[in-house]
């Protein structure tokens, strides 16, 4: 007896098996690519949301004021309130010491505020302070700048420089800031 010779049928089966295997491999490749792209997008979303949740908008706004080195020799920050306005809205007071005159320093900070996207606010909304001032709004935030001459310890010492105080707060905090400003002269 002779064995049957493989005919076109077995080669067709082999071709069909290879085609099916190739299709499975192609689906596997597409699945790996889809999972990889999804993972990258999820990591990017988590990082973006994490930054949005962890970075205080009042701090970011104060950090965006870009001035020359002589206008920001030293920096001091004070904050109070909740950044989510739970109980009391976040207020950041940042104070810089400048080596320039009051006029030069005020000009630098006002230009920095305008360059950072702040727009001058209605003078009626300004809380007010001592010295050269300007108040601005951007998005939901409020910025007020006060520029005053530095205080000298020795009255005979030549004293040059300015001190800049920036109050950055949510606009929801304005009534509270105005209330504090009005009660400050009464306490003195």
| Burial class, 90, CB count within 10 angstroms (exposed 0-12 / middle 13-18 / buried 19+) | buried
pTM of the model: 0.64
- Asked if 157 and 117 sit in the same domain, the reply is yes
- Asked if 179 and 153 sit in the same domain, the reply is yes
54, 73, 96 - which closes a domain: 54
- Asked if 68 and 148 sit in the same domain, the reply is yes
Contacts of 143 (CB under 8 A, 6+ apart): 61, 113, 118, 135, 136, 137, 166, 167, 168
Q: What is the pLDDT confidence band of residue 165, given thresholds at 50, 70 and 90?
A: confident
| Burial class, 185, CB count within 10 angstroms (exposed 0-12 / middle 13-18 / buried 19+) | exposed
Question: Mean pLDDT over all residues of the chain?
Answer: 81
* Number of compact structural domains in the chain: 2
Higher pLDDT, 131 or 164: 164
- Asked if 43 and 1 sit in the same domain, the reply is yes
- Asked if 127 and 182 sit in the same domain, the reply is yes
- Report whether pLDDT(188) > 50: no
- Asked if 108 and 74 sit in the same domain, the reply is yes
Q: Can you tell me which residue has the tokens 């001091």? A: 76
Full domain range(s) for residue 112: 57-187
The tokens for 19 are: 């085609």
- Asked if 91 and 18 sit in the same domain, the reply is no
Q: What is the pLDDT of residues 85-137, one digit of tens each?
A: 777 888 888 999 999 888 899 899 999 999 999 999 887 777 776 555 788 98
- Asked if 11 and 103 sit in the same domain, the reply is no
């Amino acid at each position: 007896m002779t064995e049957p010779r493989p005919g076109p049928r077995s080669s067709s089966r082999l071709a069909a098996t290879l085609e099916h295997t190739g299709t499975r491999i192609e689906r596997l490749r597409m699945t790996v690519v889809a999972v990889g792209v999804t993972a990258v997008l999820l990591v990017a979303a988590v990082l973006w949301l994490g930054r949005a949740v962890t970075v205080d908008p009042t701090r970011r706004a104060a950090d965006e004021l870009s001035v020359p080195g002589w206008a920001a020799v030293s920096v001091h920050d004070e904050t109070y309130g909740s950044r989510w306005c739970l109980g009391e809205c976040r207020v950041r007071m940042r104070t810089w010491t400048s080596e320039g005159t009051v006029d030069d320093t005020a000009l630098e900070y006002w230009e920095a505020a305008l360059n950072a996207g702040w727009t001058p606010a209605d003078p009626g909304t300004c809380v007010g302070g001592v010295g050269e001032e300007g108040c601005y709004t951007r998005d939901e935030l409020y910025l007020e700048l006060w520029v005053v001459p530095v205080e000298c310890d020795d009255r005979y010492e030549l004293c040059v420089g300015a001190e800049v105080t920036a109050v950055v707060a949510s606009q929801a905090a304005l009534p509270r800031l105005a209330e504090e400003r009005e009660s400050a002269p009464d306490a003195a």
